[in-house]
Structure 1
Amino acid sequence: MEHTLPPSRDLVRSRLVEVAAHLLATDGPDAVTTRSVALAAGVQAPAIYRLFGDKTGLLDAVAEHGFASYVAQKPPVDADDDPVEGLRAGWNLHVGFGLANPALFRLMYTAKRTPDGQATLESGAAVLRKRVWRVAQAGRLRVPEHRAVALIQAAGTGVVFTLLDQPEDERDETLAELAWEAVCTTILIDTRAAEPLGPTTAAVTLRAALPDLTAFTPHEGALLGDWLGRIADSGPPAPHQETAPPRRDAP
């Protein structure tokens, strides 16, 4: 007589996550209950508690799965493409993914981070940091890399949440594009306007090129990187303002 082996723990876990993600996408977060997920997955409800602890743990796993799917869609950072266009492609992917997966996107950015989920999030952030670094190498970045990354993340996620809060048939379709243009104005040098290269951009560009420079010892390179970072973080100088001459009192 043949004996059918029970599915492995990992297989059951993956099945539960996939079922929960499907229910979330089709029927919303209220549809994701331990009972509905167990029934759809063909397992007993206690299996969810053994594998995830509770419903919150299951939703955390769904968020982690969502991040992994999102990161997998990101195109590789190709050294031959235009770095600014690569940055824009990443922005479009982020906004498009959020609008196409509203319930999952909300969950991804509100669920607590497990160690595996944090690692997946970090891998996605690393892609963005590399894209920003390439823009800096090209001499197009006017602000420090870390500041550009933070601004892109904040603006990109913020614009998705703003659009998701609007009725779908009333969404401002130009909002994401306007937000991107605002980000570009803040972080990028406008080559079309023949904008002069200020000290901040020069420092950002040289700092991005440090890994390729061989003229310095590791200690010297680290010291130069620190100095350039200080210049970059100081920002552009304040605009010159004319001061009125001191008033003379009447004799």
Structure 2
Amino acid sequence: MESDMGGRGDDRNRTRADIVDVAARLINEGGVGAVTTRSVAAAAGVQAPTIYRLFGDKEGLLDAVAEHVFSAYVDTKRSGVQTDDALADLDRGWSTHVGFGLANPALFTLLAEPERGKRLTASAGGIDILRERVHRVALAGRLAVTERRAVDMIHAAGTGVVLALLAMPIERRDSALADSIYAAIKRAVLTDVDDAPSAGISAAAIALRAGLSETSVLSEAERVLMAEWLDRIAAD
């Protein structure tokens, strides 16, 4: 009996995975509008009620597709080689993000929907990777703003520039736009970049704040107080 139940569970998972793969292909080929219960059921070789049973409705299916595609993308970023150059790793992360968006226009637009993004665990995973990379830049003393501000700015710019490029006709798409936006962001959040203003004591405070959790000479209460002071200095 247990073996039969396990077999049915495996069949259900395979059917679910097949439907998600089919829906992802349809989105890549014809956009989100190409995904209907009828089209997915026909392409996957299942009955329409199967889709409702597994995903609830079309939105549930789209969530599953977005989760699947973005999880694979995040896993690729997470497994990438980390070098000793925190800034170079941040640069590569930006390029990878833009490249993924332009290679998967319909899926990226789906992922960029704010409400859908809140529902996806993979979306949070992508932000976590960005936070880790920004944290390393902060530890290197190269951050001119707080880590949270840097993450928010890079994330917003990355999403916005890809959507802007996707909105352009391919023949008029400005391939240098993403580089120009990133250069502007770097001038705003980093020290010693082109004409970026020197952050001085703020950069030192941000670097110390980034490594505060690793110190063992302070009590927990002292770390909390020191973190508050450093945040205030960094924001000054």
Q: Same fold (TM over 0.5)?
A: yes
Q: Is the 8 A contact 1:77 1:131 kept in 2?
A: no
Gap change, CA 1:8 and 1:59, over 3 Å in 2: same
Cα 1:114–1:29 shift into 2, 3 Å = closer
Structure 1 length normalisation: TM-score? 0.85
Could you report, residue by residue, the CA deviation over 1:186-218 in whole angstroms, capped at 9, with x for unpaired residues?
A: 000016789755221111011011122222112
Letter in 1 for 2:51: I
Residue 189 of structure 1 pairs with residue 188 of structure 2: no
Counterparts in 2 of 1:233 and 1:33: CA distance versus 1, 3 Å: same
> With structure 2 as the length reference, what TM-score do the two structures score?
0.90
Aligned: 1:71 with 2:64: no
Contact 2:145 2:234 in 1 (8 A): yes
Partner of residue 62, structure 1:
65
Q: Distance in 1 between matches of 2:60 and 2:196?
A: 53
**Is the aligned partner of 1:37 residue 2:16?**
no
Q: Which residue of 2 aligns with 1:101?
A: 104
CA drift of 1:65 comes to 1.2
The 8 Å contact of residues 59 and 111 in structure 1, kept in 2 or not, is answered as: no
Contact 1:25–1:101 (Cα < 8 Å) also in 2: yes
Q: 1:114 to 1:151 in 2, by over 3 A?
A: closer
2:141 to 139, 142, 164: 139
Give the 3 Å change call, closer, same or farther, for CA 230–118 of structure 1 in structure 2: farther
C-alpha deviation, 1:113, in angstroms: 3.7
Distance 2:22 2:153 in 1: 35
Percent identical: 49
Describe the superposition over 1:23-66 as per-residue Cα deviations: whole angstroms up to 9, x where unpaired.
11012222111111011111101001111111111111111112
Closer, same or farther in 2 for the Cα pair 1:5/1:140, shift >3 Å?
Answer: closer
Q: Which has the higher helix share?
A: 2
Cα 1:53–1:221 change in 2 (3 A) is same
Return 5+ residue gaps in structure 1 as ranges: 235-251
After TM superposition, the structure 1 = structure 2 runs for residues 142-157 of structure 1, keeping only pairs within 5 Å, are 142-157=144-159
Q: Unpaired runs of 5+ in structure 2?
A: 1-6
Match of 2:211 among 209, 219, 223: 209
Task: Identify the range of structure 1 (126-135 vs 65-74) with the bigger mean alpha-carbon deviation.
Answer: 65-74
Count of residue pairs brought into register by the alignment:
230
Higher Rg: 1
Deviations for 1:209-247, whole angstroms, at most 9, x for unmatched residues?
11222221121112101111122223xxxxxxxxxxxxx
